[in-house]
Amino acid sequence: MSATPQYLLDAIEVFRNPELLGEGAPLIDLKAFSYDELKTLIVDGLGEKAFRAEQIHQWLYLHYVRSFDEMTNLSKGLRERLARVSRVSTVEHVGSHVSADGTTKYQFKLDDGAIIESVFLPFESHNSLCISSQVGCAMGCTFCYTAKMGLSRHLSVAEIVDQVVNVRRVAGESDEGVSNIVFMGMGEPLHNLDHVIRACAILTADKGLNFSRRKVTVSTSGLVPEIERFMAESNVQLAVSLNATTDVSRSKIMPINDRYDLEELMTCLRELPLERRQRITFEYVLLKDFNDSIDDAKRIVKLIHGIPSKINIIPFNPHPETPFDIPSEETVEAFQRYLIDHNVSCFRRKTKGREGMAACGQLGKPSEEKKTPRHLRKKLEVLREELG
Ligand code: SAH
Ligand code: SF4
């Protein structure tokens, strides 16, 4: 058996001695723990029987309760002991916006007042929920709206899991059922690796949210060492934002390319131990006259050679003050056609939620007082000149 992780040992200590939780210190959020961890916490921390964990777990993940008071099959005494040191929910639903195509953007407020967004995307064959992993993002991609916020902080495990629980709760009866989870909201998930790995385990546990691990996908801009660790420690799917086909062009739009260039990224992906039939998804945001030529498509074929993969092309979603444009319909079609004709499995991501600023790369709210990070501002100026 693996050793008890430190975060669990710490929580057990607090459950045993509530006074360890200093004045004003945040309560322990029970959604940060797997079922087995919760059991350990209840048994070792409170000296209660293990079946209590089962009851609590059902309240959390089947009934989506927001307080211990709603857990009516627990004694009042136990509810009080629990409430002294812990809580059951972290994120507060503060607004939703439904677009004409059915895309729903949910806004959640966190303890510190920060707002994060999760987006429900209905498709013909399935429904995806796009969740956030950070408040803002540090990666500074020049085509992405979230980048302008810079990074405020990582989300906790509970804040990640609670987005899914709360969408289910808020959607209630009208919920057509979320079948897929994609970490494609705000943030770079692999920059918040420990929490994302734990959240994925809770999302896919049968005693958890019970999503199929084939239907949970984490998308990264290409943090090479983190990709390796993620694939070793998690069993959900990986998507990589490729977005350009030469180092010169990729570095212009994704600063991470200066740290891990295409050669390093592709070598890492080529060497990943994949399961039978497992494929890596590449995302490719098509930016008009920047990365949408047939020469780019040709280079994609070469770059991904030997990597079991598919490509999602995403026509650029515009946002205020961006130097980039949406490619024409003919360009998108020709690009996709070239790839398909060269045996690349290539899908076009249906544009959804654009008008409600709920589409890929449109999430977040860069504040007026907090300026766009300086390095990003400079890059944007250069691009604006180049692209005219
Ligand atoms: N940080 C991660 C996941 C969040 S971004 C990543 O970059 O992969 C999710 C996807 O949205 C990425 O593939 C990204 O390239 C894409 N994206 C960002 N801004 C976009 C925009 N304005 N239009 C279309 N796609 C965008
Ligand atoms: Fe961050 Fe992804 Fe946006 Fe790049 S595209 S800034 S990695 S959220």
Residues taking part in catalysis: 117, 360
322-358 pLDDT per residue, tens:
999 999 999 999 999 999 999 999 999 777 777 667 7
Write the residue with the smallest CA distance to atom 15 of ligand 1: 241
- Sorting pLDDT into bands at 50, 70 and 90, what band is 124? confident
> Which atom belonging to ligand 1 lies closest to the Cα atom of 144?
19
- Sorting pLDDT into bands at 50, 70 and 90, what band is 175? low
Phi/psi of residue 315, nearest 5 degrees: -60, 140
Expressed in angstroms and rounded, the spacing between residue 137 Cα and the centre of ligand 1 is: 11
Write the residue with the smallest CA distance to atom 4 of ligand 2: 141
Expressed in angstroms and rounded, the spacing between residue 184 Cα and the centre of ligand 1 is: 7
Strands 280-286 and 237-241: parallel
Expressed in angstroms and rounded, the spacing between residue 60 Cα and the centre of ligand 2 is: 31
DSSP string across 106-172: EEEE-TTS-EEEEEEEE-SS-EEEE--SEEE-SS--TT-SGGGG-EEEEPPHHHHHHHHHHHHHHHG
Distance between CA atoms of residues 378 and 168, nearest Å: 41
Closest CA to 161 of 90, 228, 229, 85: 90
DSSP 43: I
Distance between CA atoms of residues 40 and 60, nearest Å: 17
Q: 299: burial class by Cβ within 10 Å (0-12, 13-18, 19+)?
A: middle
257 contacts 294 by C-beta, under 8 angstroms: no
53-72 pLDDT per residue, tens:
999 999 999 999 999 999 99
- Sorting pLDDT into bands at 50, 70 and 90, what band is 104? very high
Distance between CA atoms of residues 228 and 213, nearest Å: 18
Q: Which residue has the tokens 């964990």?
A: 53
**All domains in the chain, ordered by first residue:** 6-87 (1.10.150.530), 92-387 (3.20.20.70)
Phi/psi of residue 341, nearest 5 degrees: -65, -20
372-385 pLDDT per residue, tens:
888 888 888 888 88
Distance between CA atoms of residues 259 and 169, nearest Å: 41
Q: What's the angle, vertex CA 201, arms to CA 140 and CA 240, rounded to 5? A: 35
Pocket test for ligand 2, best of 152, 192, 221 (most atoms within 8 A of CB): 221
